[in-house]
Amino acid sequence: MQFMRQETPRRPKRRIPPKHLDHARKSSGGGRPLGAWIGGALLGAFVLGTHVLESSIPSAPRPAGPLPPAPPPQQETKTDLDLPPLGGAPGQTIGRVALVIDDLGGHLSAAERLFGLGIPLTIAVLPGEPHSRTISREAALRGHDVLLHQPMEPADFPRSNPGPRALLKRMSPGEQMRILRENLDSLPEAIGINNHMGSAYMRDRPAVDRVMEELRRRGQLFLDSVTAPRSAGYWSARRHGVPAARRDVFLDPDEGEGILERQFVELARQVANRETAIAIGHPHPETLDALDRWVPRMREAGIEFVKISEVVNQPSAASVQRSAGEERGKN
């Protein structure tokens, strides 16, 4: 017996009469597909929602006036400055600088660099250093002035130590004079002294007066390094008839980058205004490099370099009396 697979009879398709077909088209949008109408509705809703969102965001306030100008571009800091206008004609000398270099005696190389500048110098030598005697003798042979750079007590002693052979306030007057005389005798080329540190000692008038009495006895000069604002050194020297001068400018890189260049510019300004200025520097590598740059410029501008002995003079009796009166008025 054979089994026959019975197929489910297909249902005949319903034929829509033409009039019913037209009705279906009208109900779906006048002949357009239903999907097109749905897409259009979604697009409209998106546009409307975007407009509502944009209108709800507050706009940034407008400035009341014109926009401020843009800031100028920042200039790089210039550390290699030019000399100010000094007013001298080409080849004319407008003034003099006495250049004093302190703290020598420890290293020969610094002294050799200074001697190579080819200008008159004043060399201030510390006592008792390994090369103090050699540098003092060599400087004098080359025609430079030599000073004893006498260590003295600073205001923050003992935190700051002036080193060996220093004059300290706690010492007896006799001990102070013994140390000073030994130091002067150790440098026979010295024509006077200036103070190393000494911001405390130089305000002790009796102690300073004793120093000036010794310098007067030897016929030597005193240069006040002005390490204290109320230093008694210069006025004491004037009262005792000791040739004296005061430092005008420090050439020192310790105060920050670029300070050396500004100090040289200030030195040139002081020479232009007062014809004579005294500068004190130290044998730091930065200072020696700056001297290599600035000494030729200053000479070309009409500034003459001289020794300290050329800018101090023995005061007359009248000037001694006048200076004593001025100091009484200050105090």
Which pLDDT tens digit goes with each residue over 149-178?
Answer: 999 999 999 999 999 999 999 999 999 999
Model pLDDT, residue 13: 46
Burial 273-291 (b: 16+ CB within 10 A, else e): eeebbbbbbbbbeebbebb
Q: Other CB atoms closer than 10 Å to residue 299's CB: what's the count?
A: 15
Instruction: Give the pLDDT of residue 11.
Output: 47
Question: Which residue ranges make up each domain of the chain?
Answer: 95-330
Whether the Cβ atoms of residue 190 and residue 147 lie closer than 8 Å to each other: yes
Q: Classify 64 as helix, strand or coil.
A: coil
Instruction: Report percent pLDDT > 90 for the chain.
Output: 64
* CA-wise closest residue to 213 among 183, 247, 190, 181: 181
DSSP symbols for 180-244: HHHHHHH-TT--EEEEEE-TTGGG-HHHHHHHHHHHHHHT-EEEE---STT--HHHHHHHTT--E
Q: Residue 273 and residue 271: Cα distance in Å, rounded?
A: 5
Query: Quick one: pLDDT at residue 92?
Result: 87
Is residue 48 within 8 A of residue 56, CB to CB? The reply is: no
Task: Give the pLDDT confidence score for residue 63 in this predicted structure.
Answer: 47
CB 193 within 8 A of CB 222: yes
Structure tokens at 161: 């130590």
Measured in degrees and rounded to the nearest 5, phi and psi for residue 54 equal: -65, -40
String of DSSP letters for 259-291: HHHHHHHHHHHHHHHHSEEEEEE---HHHHHHH
Q: Which helix (H) or strand (E) holds 122?
A: strand 122-125
| Per-residue confidence (pLDDT) for residue 218, from 0 to 100 | 98
pLDDT at 258: 85
What pLDDT, on a 0 to 100 scale, did the predictor assign at position 254? Answer: 79
CA distance 5 to 18: 39
Residue 305 pLDDT exceeds 60: yes
What are 255's two structure tokens?
Answer: 């105060």
What's the pLDDT tens digit per position in 41-83?
Answer: 555 554 455 554 444 545 545 545 554 554 444 443 344 566 6
pTM of the model: 0.72
Classify domain 95-330 at the CATH class level.
alpha beta
Q: How far is CA 51 from CA 46, 54, 59, 60, 309, in A?
A: 9, 5, 14, 18, 91
SS3 state at 43: helix
User: Cα–Cα–Cα angle for 9, 15, 21, nearest 5°?
Assistant: 150
The confidence score (pLDDT) of residue 320 equals 58
Average pLDDT over residues 79-93: 66
Is-contact 236 229, C-beta < 8 A?
Answer: no
Query: Is residue 298 very low, low, confident or very high in pLDDT (cuts 50, 70, 90)?
Result: very high
- Phi-psi group of 254: left, alpha or beta (phi > 0 → left; psi -120 to 50 → alpha; rest → beta): alpha
Nearest CA among 325, 147, 179 for reference residue 244: 147
